[in-house]
Chains A and B, each alone.
Chain A
Amino acid sequence: MGEEDRNNSSKRLLVVGLIWLVATVLAVIAVAAIQWHPFAASREAEITDDAFDLLLLFAAPVFTFVLVVGGYTLVRDRDRGTGADGAPIRTNRLFIGTWVVITTALSVLIVITPGFTGLDELRAEPEPDLIIDVRAERWNWAYTYAESGVETQGTLMLPIDRRILFRISSTDVIHSFWIPAFRIKKDAVPGQITTTMVTAEVLGSFDNQDEMRVQCAELCGVGHARMFTGVTVVEQAEFDAWLAAAGG
């Protein structure tokens, strides 16, 4: 490689590096500006949405790196009909080494946070204030409030700011208990009781928010798409009154 080539190539690297920086900053701004998440109404939703946002932040430089390096060379290094061959560069220790170290480090980082940390947060506070047994059957949801023995179908009534444990079962095939606004989901498997916990933090109901629904999220036959009911979150006092009226 001649002196001129070397200058040339360090200039290229500088330019690409700058474009990458700018692109990354722009990408991060764009990422922050976009509203990615729908209506959120639980403690779990914050953890999940934060994890997603953090991943976006990690993804931005990786994405822009590939696009900028690739894009730059695609524009600059077109063959202009000379029919010549490119420079026979078979390897470059610095580039390969950096790549391997950075992608490995980034992967490990992603595993730790938001991976493990997010999971630990979700699993914190394991003591429930309220237990609800959820029974899925084609194509219906039934809820039993464990302490009072009240069984209901239709809208799922929940008190705000209480730790709620769902014990989920199925009588026929696999269904999945999903409340989009809460970002919780757990399959209802016949022959098994699965659990998931949530703390609702926002008042609301299906009437004004589509995400406030229990949606079946595992294909279970013809009625799958329609296997949903509303969710309503109310103050504790209102909830107690409702429960009493329902026969508790």
Chain B
Amino acid sequence: MAATEVLPMEHATPRLKINRIGLWLFFLSETMLFAGVLTTRFSLLGTEVHEEVSQTIGLVITAILLASSYTAFRAEHAAHHGDQAEMVKYLSLTLLLGFVFVAGVAYEWIEAFDAFPPSTEFGTVFFTMTGIHAFHVLTGLIFLGLLWNNARRGRYADNAWPVEAGVKYWHFVDVVWVFFYPALYLI
């Protein structure tokens, strides 16, 4: 019999690595959804964009979302360095920016309802794309909110993974918007 010199099973692959792989696979799966939505958009509309979409709102909310990615990054950075106060601060900022983004989308929706309602071609695409994306932003906000709440109580002092996961997800949702924004406002 060969010598049995083994590590306990849990340590065959470190837990953190397992979690990271899972998260990236989840992104891969979600990417397919967003790719499908984008393809649908071009299939229905070609490269047409409705002239009544508000370029100002589009630009502003995009800038806000990108800024929130930066603050989220700072929060994660702080988490990895065990800087609780920084982390809480930047999580709050991210949450704030996230809410402003959602408010921007909501405002845009109210406007859009008259300009191009869902029963028009562009409306169908516009409401579906912003809706699916906003749904992801909202779930992201829920997670960031939980993180913020727990971070305030110092619960991530010795385990930064939840923060890392929440922030990575937030980045992912932002990257999706980087593709959606031109498809909805520019092309």
Please tell me whether chains A and B touch each other in their complex, using a CB distance cut-off of 8 A: no
Please list the residues of chain B having a beta carbon within 8 angstroms of any beta carbon in chain A. Answer: none
